[in-house]
């Protein structure tokens, strides 16, 4: 996409050039193979622009109506699958204008009055990105709801909590799953923020300095469902922060899913055996008949690198660009499109996989108290009885070392041995049961059953609120990207 205006509805070199471009330049320059995804947004942006031109008297009302009617005919061809583009079109904008000229003739040339390719493509991409962000939010909410459902189905299952991938302290499985719901809540918030910043119309900024016609930018913004208009024409045509916002949000969603994937991969291994992944979401081996591989989780983990790569690529493209538009910005779309597609694919497959997981609750409960994971509870008991925590930590550390050397656990100690370790243990015993340990952590954000139940309710309410926000904006965007009845064209 270039800032040059197409002349004659065919090529973008115009009257300045005495010869057409080399075929290799034409192919290298073309973006039509991927920006065709924005064809509906491009048509709709042109509809808003020509409506405004007609209302403002910049072009004749009859001319504006004819152009708009032609644009909706192109829209109908897109919907019917009969609209076609070629490399010779260079980009989707040229292709739409070329087809419009076929349909309504030379009046098509007036469509580009008061508009540059630069503000046109920025408008199209912002409109497309708004839809993509809403789809991503829907996917994040679907995944959150799946995790909430699995947590609700396992309210009393204990498991080891880990640090350094070593057993640390017992937690509820529901508490562990709600940690991912918390991550996804931040993801949804980031996506909503990205939506807010994308929801600004650059249309009317021209090539870089504004335009000389008495346009109504507020009218075109309202027609396209944008909440505001850009404040600076130079920034408006060269800004791709909204693309970076979307890529950053996708990257963090992918990273959070990757972390969940890693745990499912570990938990489903023979070494852990905490969970069984349903056959519908696993694969076998071409040579080893016994294998059952967690391929969905592995792909979820692997695709994070792809999405993060697109973010890094776009950051690199943007880092040294002078104002205003530069052809480098043509690189904004393929990475964005693929990052969105990849993230949506992950968000589509994970909820049903999660809902079919089968957890081995007895094995997880046994692991929750193995490897002296109740040692902190013993130190906390001493501290509550007035022993300085560092001293209590040392006492219990020696106890752990002794039991490990003797091949015993805390449960194997006699009353006399407990009293020998420390006088406090002579009359009070630390928790030797995972649920007792879990129940003791009754603080906001803790793993105690009541706290987890309250956290589940709060997270469910947050998801419901986000879902309402989403539905309102989905309906508003759908209304913008909808063909009006034939008798309403021109309004």
Query: Can you tell me the distance from the alpha carbon of 412 to that of 301, in angstroms, rounded to the nearest whole number?
Result: 41
Tokens 């040339």 correspond to 109
CB neighbours of residue 293 within 10 Å? 15
Query: What angle do helix axes 92-104 and 39-55 make, rounded to 10 degrees?
Result: 60
Tokens 């309250």 correspond to 454
Task: Please say if 258 is a catalytic residue.
Answer: no
Task: Please say if 164 is a catalytic residue.
Answer: yes
Query: Can you tell me the distance from the alpha carbon of 75 to that of 65, in angstroms, rounded to the nearest whole number?
Result: 15
Identify whether the C-beta of residue 176 lies closer than 8 Å to the C-beta of residue 291. no
Burial degree of 452 (CB within 10 A; 0-12, 13-18, 19+) = buried
242: closest CA among 112, 111, 128?
128
Four-point Cα dihedral 130, 136, 141, 143, nearest 10: 180
State the pairing for strand pair 200-201/228-229: parallel
Catalytic residue among 106, 175, 248, 285: 285
The SS3 assignment for 184 reads helix
Residues belonging to the chain = 491
Catalytic residue among 2, 49, 112, 164: 164
CB contact burial 98-133 (16+ within 10 A = b; e otherwise) = bbbbeebeebbbbbbebbbbbbbbbbbbbbbbbbbb
Identify whether the C-beta of residue 139 lies closer than 8 Å to the C-beta of residue 184. no
Query: Can you tell me the distance from the alpha carbon of 150 to that of 378, in angstroms, rounded to the nearest whole number?
Result: 32
Query: Can you tell me the distance from the alpha carbon of 7 to that of 58, in angstroms, rounded to the nearest whole number?
Result: 19
Query: Can you tell me the distance from the alpha carbon of 419 to that of 427, in angstroms, rounded to the nearest whole number?
Result: 8
CB contact burial 473-486 (16+ within 10 A = b; e otherwise) = beeebeebbebeee
Query: Can you tell me the distance from the alpha carbon of 241 to that of 220, in angstroms, rounded to the nearest whole number?
Result: 22
Strand partners, 276: 358
Q: Give the residue numbers marked as catalytic.
A: 164, 285
């Amino acid at each position: 996409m270039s800032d040059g205006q197409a002349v004659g509805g065919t090529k973008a070199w115009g009257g300045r050039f005495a010869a057409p471009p080399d075929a290799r330049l034409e192919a290298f320059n073309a973006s039509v193979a991927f920006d065709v995804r924005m064809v509906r947004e491009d048509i709709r942006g042109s509809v808003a622009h020509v409506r405004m031109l007609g209302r403002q008297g910049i072009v004749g009302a009859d001319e504006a109506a004819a152009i708009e009617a032609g644009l909706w005919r192109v829209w109908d061809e897109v919907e019917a699958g009969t609209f076609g583009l070629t490399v010779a079109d260079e980009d989707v904008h040229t292709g739409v204008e070329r087809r419009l000229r076929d349909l309504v003739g030379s009046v098509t040339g007036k469509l580009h009055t008061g508009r540059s390719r630069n503000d046109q493509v920025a408008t199209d991409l912002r409109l497309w990105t708004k839809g993509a962000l809403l789809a991503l939010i829907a996917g994040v909410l679907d995944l959150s709801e799946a995790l909430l459902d699995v947590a609700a189905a396992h309210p009393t299952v204990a498991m080891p909590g880990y640090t350094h991938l070593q057993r640390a302290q017992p937690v509820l499985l529901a508490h562990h799953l709600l940690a991912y719901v918390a991550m996804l809540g931040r993801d949804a918030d980031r996506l909503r923020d990205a939506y807010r910043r994308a929801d600004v119309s650059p249309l009317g900024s021209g090539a870089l300095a504004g335009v000389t016609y008495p346009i109504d930018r507020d009218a075109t913004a309202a027609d396209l469902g944008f909440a505001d208009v850009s404040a600076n024409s130079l920034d408006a045509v060269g800004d791709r922060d909204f693309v970076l916002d979307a890529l950053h949000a996708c990257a963090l969603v992918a990273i959070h899913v990757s972390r969940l994937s890693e745990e499912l991969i570990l938990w489903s291994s023979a070494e852990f055996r905490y969970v069984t992944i349903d056959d519908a979401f696993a694969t076998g081996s071409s040579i080893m008949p016994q294998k059952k591989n967690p391929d969905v989780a592995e792909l979820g983990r692997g695709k994070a690198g792809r999405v993060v790569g697109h973010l890094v690529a776009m950051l690199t493209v943007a880092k040294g660009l002078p104002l205003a538009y530069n052809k480098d910005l043509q690189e904004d779309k393929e990475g964005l499109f693929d990052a969105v597609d990849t993230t949506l694919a992950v968000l589509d497959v994970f909820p049903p996989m999660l809902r079919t997981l089968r957890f081995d609750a007895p094995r997880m409960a046994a692991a929750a108290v193995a490897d002296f994971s109740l040692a902190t509870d013993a130190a906390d008991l001493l501290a509550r009885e007035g022993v300085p925590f560092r001293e209590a930590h040392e006492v219990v550390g020696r106890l752990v070392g002794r039991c490990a050397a003797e091949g015993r656990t805390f449960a194997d100690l006699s009353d006399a041995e407990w009293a020998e370790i420390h006088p406090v243990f002579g009359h009070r015993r630390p928790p030797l049961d995972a649920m007792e340990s879990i129940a003791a952590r009754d603080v906001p954000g803790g793993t105690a059953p009541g706290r987890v139940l309250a956290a589940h309710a709060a997270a469910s309410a947050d998801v419901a609120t986000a879902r309402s926000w989403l539905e309102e904006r989905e309906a508003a965007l759908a209304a913008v990207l909808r063909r009006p009845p034939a008798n309403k064209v021109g309004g």
